[in-house]
Amino acid sequence: MKMISPKSSTQRAFSLIEVTIAMAIAAVAVVTLLGLVPQGMETMRAAGDEAIQGRIHQQILNELQMTPFEDLSGKSPLDQYHNMEFYYDAQGEELSDSTNQGSVSEERKKGGFAHIYSARVSIPSVGGSSQAPASVGGSRFDGYSFDGGQANTFVRPVIVEVAPVAGLGQNFDWESDEYRNLISTYQSVVVKMGQDYSSVAP
């Protein structure tokens, strides 16, 4: 009678060298991923800033578009916005503007605790003494001409500068080269459409 011997079941384990190599590969991968975390956080912060600043620009532009292009005397109410500053919290909600600082609490004023973003509006007049801000060249505005002739008086440029100023408060200076890289500039226009309600005689 033939005896059948059971198959020898030998289990092969990882050697010390293999384990060391595997741990080295894993360590390199983990260190690489950890190195990407700060860059990813900075990208998220920058994207958040851009989104809020774009929303601030849109809010200001909406307000300007609802402002009458000119009043009964022929003057433009838009001129009151030239060089006006607005102040916003971390979510892009308006705290106050430079002409209404006395009507809000201290924390909602320029340099207050809630003040995270500042915006400055420039609406240069055609051939006037008001100039464009330094962020777009600082030159005099001679108007838009669509046919190469006389400047069109029904179009006004709007330059909105927005900057994250948290921690800078009262020290932030729009004209300083030190803070130039913080400023995002948005250029738009407001156009006189039809008849202003303010110029319709009662």
Q: What is the residue-level pLDDT of the chain in tens, covering all 202 positions?
A: 555 555 555 667 778 888 899 899 998 888 888 877 778 788 888 888 889 999 999 999 998 988 888 777 778 888 888 889 999 998 889 988 988 888 888 888 888 888 889 999 988 877 666 677 777 777 777 777 777 777 777 788 889 999 998 878 778 888 888 888 888 999 888 887 765 444 444 4
| Cα(119)–Cα(60) distance, integer angstroms | 9
Neighbours of 186 (CB within 10 A): 17
In a domain, 68, yes or no: yes
In a domain, 202, yes or no: no
Q: Do the Cβ atoms of 113 and 104 come closer than 8 Å?
A: no
pTM of the model: 0.72
Q: Do the Cβ atoms of 78 and 122 come closer than 8 Å?
A: no
Look at the chain and report how many structural domains it folds into: 1
For 73-112, the pLDDT digits (tens) are 778 888 888 889 999 998 889 988 988 888 888 888 888 8
pLDDT of residue 130: 64
In a domain, 14, yes or no: no
For 118-134, the pLDDT digits (tens) are 999 988 877 666 677 77
- At 11, the amino acid letter reads Q
In a domain, 136, yes or no: yes
In a domain, 22, yes or no: no
In a domain, 49, yes or no: yes
Q: Do the Cβ atoms of 170 and 122 come closer than 8 Å?
A: no
Count Cβ atoms within 10 A of the Cβ of residue 119 and give its class: 0-12 exposed, 13-18 middle, 19 or more buried: buried
In a domain, 36, yes or no: no
pLDDT of residue 196: 45
In a domain, 30, yes or no: no
Domain enclosing residue 57, as ranges: 41-193
| Cα(118)–Cα(183) distance, integer angstroms | 9
- CA distance from start to end of the chain: 125
